[in-house]
Amino acid sequence: MALTKNERRLRIKNRVRKIVSGTEARPRLSVFRSNKEIYAQIVDDVTGKTISAASSRDKDISSAKGTKMEIAALVGKSVAEKALKAGVETISFDRGGYLYHGRVKSLAEGAREAGLKF
C-alpha cells in the first residue's frame, strides 16, 4: 500500500529527529508548514524549552502583503532576531520532513540573512 503524503512526511521527520537534536549551545530550529501559514520555533531539547518562536500569524507579519514565499522569509527573519536577543547564534535546522525547497528554503534564508548560523 502506498503511503499518504502526510505519512511519508512523518516518516522522514522521525528519521531526521533521530539525528538532529537541540542542545543549549546549539538549539534546533523547527519548521511547520500548513497550506496557509508557516511556523518556526527554536527549541532546546535537553530542557524541553522553546527559546523563541514566530509564525505568519504574528500581528506584524500577518499585516504584511506578499506571496507565501516572502512571508516565510519574514518569519525566518523574525525568529532569528528573537533568537539573537535571547543569545543564540548557531542552530541546527530541522525541516520537519518537508523538502528543503520553496517556503522552507525561504524561511531558512531569511534566518541566515538576519544573522543565524547553521
Closest by CA position to 104, among listed 73, 78, 82:
73
CA distances for 68 relative to 47, 65, 95, angstroms: 33, 9, 17
pTM as predicted: 0.90
The tens digit of pLDDT for each residue in 57-81 reads: 999 999 999 999 999 999 999 999 9
- The answer to whether residues 49 and 43 touch, using CB atoms and an 8 Å cutoff, is yes
Average pLDDT of the chain is 94
Q: What is the pLDDT averaged over residues 18-38?
A: 91
> Which residue in this structure is represented by grid cell 500569524?
57
The grid coordinates listed for 5 are 503524503
What's the count of helices (H) and strands (E) in the chain, helices before strands?
4, 4
Report the residue count for the chain: 118
What are 29's strand-pairing partners?
42, 93
